[in-house]
Amino acid sequence: MTLIKSISGIRGTIGGNVGENLTPIDAVKFAAAYGTWIKQQTNKEEYRVVVGRDARISGEMIQQLVMNTLVGLGIHVIDVGLSTTPTVEIAVPMEHADGGIILTASHNPKQWNALKLLDHKGEFLNGKEGAKILEIAEGNKIAFAEVDDLGRISVNDAYLDLHIEEILDLDLVDVKAVKNAKLKVVVDGVNSSGGIFIPRILEELGVEVVKLYCEPTGEFPHNPEPLKEHLGDICELVVKENADLGVVVDPDVDRLAFIDENGNMFGEEYTLVAVADYVLGKKGGNTVSNLSSSRALRDVTEKHGGSYQASAVGEVNVVQLMKDTDAIIGGEGNGGIIFPELHYGRDSLVGVALFLTYLAEKDMKVSELRATYPAYFMSKNKIQLTPGLDVDNILEKMAEKYASEEVSTIDGVKIDFPENWVHLRKSNTEPIIRIYTEAKSQEEATQLADTVIAEIKEIAGL
């Protein structure tokens, strides 16, 4: 059982001992620290925070604990209930709120939950802000409100519709073209809120929807990370239903993957590539993804005359670099689309709308569209960390070993070779080292990963 405290929030497994897992006491402690931080930002009479959750079994319990802790601090809570991460991000500025909390452990299994923390713009906190909240949580300076100054909870269930309306009003979303394409789409909502939100936007776009695992029970029918090895059921159903494509999201709907008409993965890395190709073709500009993302985005960006930059891993880092470079589209290679015209956050709903618009405009099958992009292959691996393992020393020695290559140390160690690359970094959300490689063939990517993993284990004495 695990509790991970980081600048991006608190994440852990339900049950177990206080301070070692995400227990009710830990949820209250960190909600109180966040609420205290909110009140430190401005001096005013009324503070407001938006709170939403995915469909995890523990979600309702954790949400009640978090909301009532904020009430105890004198903060008014807008409860948007069963929701998505991007929907809460949109709701914060719409409500003129001081912040937001999404209760979700994203792609982690059902025993996990987390508090994802937002600022008044509906964006994730930066490192300095997150560190301050951790400092408050470990101190003894949390002052709760007196009885006459308690906050209140108000329910607002309009944001499903408001989020979709904002997307359908975007210039680059062509509702008429998608309706005329008469598409049939299978949706795997992994029995979370995506099972409600994704079918709804598809129906608004005039798409025939076939639902798979779309009941928001929180009982994930497969590993909720949208990777090929977890998606056999939808791949089979797309073919069986003679559908045009399949859509897969993670539990909080900020990661998006497509299945082509033959039941093959479009490639999680290529979600952003395809959407960026469409957006750049309409409005030239720059792009950003993180260091662990495919080179294909760079290739597509340069094809359209734009500039590509890579940030450290983490949505807040991608967003900051997008702002710094005036990027018009960006995100992460794990299927996260950030489209600033809507908001600065990964959003599967806008990703679906833009992708289907592009598909309708090109009048292509999904497999045909995929064939237009450079062929890169990735291998994503991880090494479980053991107590006492000096990860920083391991990464430093790997950087030294490959000093003659192009090496970046802004986030772990990324080694760029002429034809491939490897990125090594500690996870922010799990006790692991991630090892990502990319090459011109799957065999080469896997071989590079195996070589690097062997070298790491030799250095670590594993």
Cβ of 402: how many Cβ atoms within 10 Å?
Answer: 16
Structure tokens at 264: 């093959």
For residues 346 and 462, give the distance between their C-alpha atoms in angstroms, rounded to a whole number: 37
* DSSP structure string for 8-60: TEEEEEBSS-BTTBB-HHHHHHHHHHHHHHHHHH---S--EEEEEE-S-TTHH
Q: Output phi, psi for 144, to 5 deg.
A: -90, 160
Those residues with Cβ within 8 angstroms of residue 296's Cβ, 6 or more apart along the chain or in another chain:
269, 270, 273, 373, 374, 376
For residues 283 and 35, give the distance between their C-alpha atoms in angstroms, rounded to a whole number: 40
Active-site choice (106, 193, 289, 292): 106
Residue type, 289: S
| Contact of 192 with 215, CB cutoff 8 Å | no
- How far the first Cα of the chain sits from its last, in Å, is 23
- Smallest CA-to-CA distance from 345 within 330, 364, 362 is with 330
| Contact of 89 with 100, CB cutoff 8 Å | yes
Using DSSP's 3-state secondary structure scheme, residue 356 falls into helix
Those residues with Cβ within 8 angstroms of residue 218's Cβ, 6 or more apart along the chain or in another chain:
54, 55, 56, 57, 58, 59, 110, 191, 192
Q: What is the bridge-based pairing of β-strands 413-416 and 406-408? A: antiparallel
Verify whether residue 106 is a known catalytic residue: yes
- Smallest CA-to-CA distance from 289 within 346, 245, 234 is with 346
For residues 212 and 238, give the distance between their C-alpha atoms in angstroms, rounded to a whole number: 10
Which residues participate in catalysis according to the annotation?
106
